[in-house]
Structure formats: structure tokens, C-alpha cells
């Protein structure tokens, strides 16, 4: 019987978490003011009956290639966007708020 490796333990501030998984896709984006790399990380399933979780993480430099294992600390980031929409029934202009939550590499 093989023993599972002992995971690293971290003492982290609020909004940060340690993750470990396999990189399943890597992309590079170049914008007006910055270039960033985005990768999808598939985390191990908690048990044999559960589906593994997949998260998308941003970083300023590449962290690995498809199929490689990656472990690190990420932070939760979020922002809101506001737009206006015309209500078709009343004709009134309504404010619409959308929220984006994502993850960024800390180390």
C-alpha cells in the first residue's frame, strides 16, 4: 500500500489559499498596459465519487506547461462592473451590476 504524501501547511492571511493540481491549459494575453498568463488548474477530487475542481488563475509570468503539477499560494480577487439596461416592459433605465471573482498567484 502506498502512502499519500503529506501536504505542505501554510499560515496565510485572509483571502489567500494554498492549492496543488495539474495544469490543463495555458494562455497568454497581451493588453494595452500589461501582459499576463492564465492557466487552468485541475485539483484532485476529494473522493472517488466526486468530480475534480478546476480553477482559472492569472499570473504575470508562465508557471508551467500542460500536464505539469503545480503548487502555490493564490489570492482571491474580485471587481464589480456597472452598466445600464432598458427594461422592455416599463421603458425605464435600470442599473445592472455584475461581479467577477478570480484568482491570482501570490507565490
Query: Residue 9: pLDDT above 90?
Result: no
Residue 41 contacts residue 19 (beta carbons within 8 Å): yes
Residue 2 lies in a domain: no
What's the mean per-residue pLDDT of the chain? 87
Calculate mean pLDDT across residues 70-99: 90
Query: pTM higher than 0.75, yes or no?
Result: no
Contacts of 37 (CB under 8 A, 6+ apart): 26, 27, 28, 29, 58, 59, 60, 61, 62, 63
Do the domain assignments include residue 1? Answer: no
Cell 499560515 belongs to 11
Q: Does 92 map to a domain?
A: yes
The number of folded domains in the chain is 1
Residue 9 covered by a domain: no
Q: Which residue range is the domain that position 84 belongs to?
A: 17-105
> Under a CB-based contact definition with an 8 Å cutoff, are residues 38 and 56 in contact?
yes
* Model confidence band, residue 39 (pLDDT cutoffs 50, 70, 90): very high
Q: How does DSSP classify residue 80?
A: E
Whichever domain contains 95, its CATH number is 2.40.50
Amino acid at each position: 500500500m502506498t502512502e499519500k504524501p503529506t501536504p505542505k501547511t501554510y499560515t496565510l492571511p485572509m483571502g489567500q489559499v494554498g492549492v496543488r493540481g495539474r495544469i490543463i491549459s495555458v494562455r497568454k494575453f497581451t493588453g494595452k498596459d500589461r501582459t499576463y498568463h492564465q492557466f487552468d488548474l485541475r485539483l484532485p477530487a476529494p473522493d472517488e465519487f466526486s468530480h475534480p475542481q478546476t480553477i482559472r488563475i492569472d499570473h504575470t509570468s508562465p508557471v508551467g506547461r500542460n500536464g505539469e503539477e503545480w503548487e502555490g499560494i493564490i489570492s482571491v480577487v474580485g471587481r464589480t462592473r456597472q452598466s445600464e439596461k432598458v427594461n422592455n416592459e416599463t421603458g425605464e433605465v435600470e442599473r445592472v451590476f455584475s461581479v467577477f471573482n478570480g484568482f491570482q498567484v501570490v507565490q
